[in-house]
């Protein structure tokens, strides 16, 4: 029988959620905010610049990308309501 990992997608989803939660928590603590919705455009730009300097294979990439996409969609909704 060849090797297989049943339900590996579930493991991947859990790991992605842990990384994303860690990124959200760290950024909120760093900027002294309660929620990422409070990030300004300038702060988001700083976070995006940091993410772009990470190694493309960093496990943290997905967490930063998730946060950036989330905040950008919040800003877009506020501006285009």
Q: Residue 19 has which token pair?
A: 């990384």
- In the chain, % of residues over pLDDT 70: 100
At residue 48, the pLDDT reads: 97
Q: Residue 67 has which token pair?
A: 């946060």
Does this model's pTM top 0.85? yes
Mean pLDDT of the chain: 96
pLDDT digits (tens, 9 = 90+) for 47-81: 999 999 999 999 999 999 999 999 999 989 988 97
Inter-residue contact 35 to 47 (CB < 8 Å): no
Residue 15 has pLDDT above 90, yes or no: yes
For residue 34, the 8-state DSSP code is S
Residue 19 has pLDDT above 90, yes or no: yes
């Amino acid at each position: 029988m060849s090797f297989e990992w049943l339900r590996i997608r579930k493991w991947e989803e859990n790991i992605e959620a842990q990384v994303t939660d860690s990124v959200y928590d760290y950024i909120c603590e760093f900027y002294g905010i309660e929620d990422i919705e409070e990030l300004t455009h300038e702060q988001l730009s700083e976070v995006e610049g940091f993410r772009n300097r990470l190694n493309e294979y960093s496990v943290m990439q997905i967490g930063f990308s998730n946060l950036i996409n989330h905040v950008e969609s919040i800003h877009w909704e506020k501006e285009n309501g």
